[in-house]
Structure 1
Amino acid sequence: MTAALTTSGTTAVQSDATISTTPAAPTGPNKLPLKFPFTTAGGVQISALNLRRPKVRDLKQSQRDGGTQGDQEVALFALIAGLTPEDMDEMDAADYTTLQARFQQMQSGSIL
């Protein structure tokens, strides 16, 4: 709801909408908590991955990066998680399996 208030020739607009200059931390289906947190090559502790939905450009980029099919998958997951493939190498295999399953859900459209 928006309302305009006029006082002495000045118009102020009041709105229920909130404008934020800092992005909110992702929650819900795109946040993947890790059972086994890890430390990146840069020394950052990762306890959850904030995933964005993959785009075609991400698929193409991961294929251009070359390597084996596994290398391409790691590169793709790194892109959507905002990490590097080297960071992903430090992830526990159990969490990686969970990430693979989440990616499949995202790709099928069952998770927005």
Structure 2
Amino acid sequence: MSSSSARIRTRAFIRQSGRCYYCRCLMWNDIIGLTAMAKNFALPLRQVRYLQCTAEHLNPRMNGGSNSHRNIVAACRTCNARRHRAKAPRDPISHQRHVQNRMRRKKWHPAWVYESAICAVQGNCF
């Protein structure tokens, strides 16, 4: 990823208070590193890797989307990958609703996410 893309991703991370655009879980990036997040939540590094901050293009580049701050949000690696894994990926709003519905039922992430303070499902994150 280019340095300008990394800056846009970091700005989105800050704008979203370090929470994923889709699931609202805390993520890590250059500001809050992998090891710091693992230590703060007493989790193994292999688990925390799923919550890495990625730059999510709301309108994909292959569909003419740009690398502008208006088109990029911060999403955890899991949510970003699952959106694009489908044969016909959902649009961002539909995917967000789908994820939030699954989050309410604790059916999106592995159980350790809901058991830690990483996820604000217990609070009012939706």
Higher strand residue share: 1
Q: Over alpha carbons, which structure has the higher Rg?
A: 1
Answer yes or no: same fold by TM over 0.5.
no
- TM (norm. structure 2) is 0.30
**Higher RCO by CA contacts (8 Å cutoff, separation 6 or greater):** 2
